[in-house]
């Protein structure tokens, strides 16, 4: 069970169901969007959870298009008419159902990546043509949600962070919540770029950060790690 603090401003955010990645359902005035989608194996659970909660997603926001986040975008689009939103740099990957896997940020995960590259077909997913492709920001009010998306590359080129009610940010794999006190993700295409995106994420003014995997991260934890890493990299 993941405890997600209330935004205090009328929007509910819940983890829809346990899945290969965190899938969040964001609801305001009976209108719902979904952030990230898991892998095809998670599909039945997603379907049950939506049915049980009587939710029909109007939109699917992808924080990025790695296979474990984008696997059900095409299905949600076809089944519920959900409009898929993705950052420009990854719309081509999404349309192909094939997104390159990033470098590990330390030795152990680097080994895992070379292993992954040998078995790359398992990282393919059902291709999906996005309904909305954005560059810097995307306003979510068109779906009834008081929020917006910003481009936060580094883990992957089209990384995106969803800001809800100015209080909670859903950051995908730009932040990881699987080990308390260690919110920097073990995989990233570009570590320096990711740190710049962390600055942007911190500057949203949010208090709680929901990662693509694991538990919520607080502003304090994020700031502490940011300061540690930006002093190391000299900037
Ligand atoms: Zn990822």
Q: Which residues surround ligand 1, an ion (CB under 5 A)?
A: 66, 173
Asked whether residue 4 is assigned to any structural domain, the reply reads: no
What would the pLDDT profile of 2-21 be if each residue is shown by its tens digit?
889 889 999 999 999 999 99
CATH number at residue 195: 3.60.15.10
Asked whether residue 89 is assigned to any structural domain, the reply reads: yes
Asked whether residue 7 is assigned to any structural domain, the reply reads: no
Asked whether residue 129 is assigned to any structural domain, the reply reads: yes
- Domain containing residue 179: 12-232
pTM: 0.92
101 C-alpha vs ligand 1 centroid, how far in Å?
A: 8
Asked whether residue 116 is assigned to any structural domain, the reply reads: yes
41 C-alpha vs ligand 1 centroid, how far in Å?
A: 17
Asked whether residue 197 is assigned to any structural domain, the reply reads: yes
107 compared with 71, residue with greater pLDDT: 71
29 C-alpha vs ligand 1 centroid, how far in Å?
A: 31
Q: Note the pLDDT of residue 119.
A: 52
DSSP secondary structure string, the chain?
-------SSS-EEEE-S--SS--EEEEETTEEEEE----GGGHHHHHHHHHHTT--EEEEE-S---HHHHTTHHHHHHHH-PEEEEEGGGHHHHHHT--PPPPBSSHHHHHHHHHHHHTGGGG-------SEEESSEEE-GGGT-SEEEEE--SSSTT-EEEEETTTEEEEETTS-BSSTT--S-SB-S-HHHHHHHHHHHHTT--SEEEESSBS-EEHHHHHHHHHHHHHHTT-
8 C-alpha vs ligand 1 centroid, how far in Å?
A: 29
Give how many domains the chain has, as a whole number: 1
Q: Note the pLDDT of residue 102.
A: 79
What would the pLDDT profile of 190-201 be if each residue is shown by its tens digit?
999 999 999 999
The arithmetic mean of pLDDT across residues 85-94, rounded, is 98
Asked whether residue 189 is assigned to any structural domain, the reply reads: yes
Asked whether residue 5 is assigned to any structural domain, the reply reads: no
């Amino acid at each position: 069970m993941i405890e997600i603090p209330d935004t205090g401003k009328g929007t509910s955010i819940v983890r829809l169901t346990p899945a290969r990645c965190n899938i969040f359902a964001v609801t305001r005035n009976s209108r719902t969007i979904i952030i990230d989608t898991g892998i095809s194996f998670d599909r039945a659970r997603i379907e049950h959870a939506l049915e049980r909660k009587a939710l029909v997603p109007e939109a699917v926001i992808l924080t990025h298009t790695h296979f474990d986040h984008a696997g059900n975008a095409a299905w949600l689009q076809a089944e519920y008419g959900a409009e898929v939103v993705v950052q420009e740099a990854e719309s081509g990957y999404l349309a192909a159902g094939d997104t390159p896997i990033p470098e590990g940020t330390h030795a152990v995960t680097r080994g895992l990546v070379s292993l992954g590259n040998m078995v790359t077909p398992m990282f393919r997913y059902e291709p999906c043509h996005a309904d909305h492709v954005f560059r810097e920001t995307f306003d979510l009010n068109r779906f009834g949600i008081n929020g917006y998306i910003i481009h936060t590359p580094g883990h992957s080129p089209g990384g995106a962070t969803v800001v809800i009610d100015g209080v909670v940010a859903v950051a995908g794999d730009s932040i990881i919540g699987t080990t308390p006190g260690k919110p920097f993700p073990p995989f990233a295409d570009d570590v320096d770029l990711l740190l710049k995106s962390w600055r942007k994420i911190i500057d949203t003014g949010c208090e709680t950060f929901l990662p693509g995997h694991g538990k919520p991260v607080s502003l304090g934890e994020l700031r502490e790690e940011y300061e540690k890493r930006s002093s190391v990299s000299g900037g």
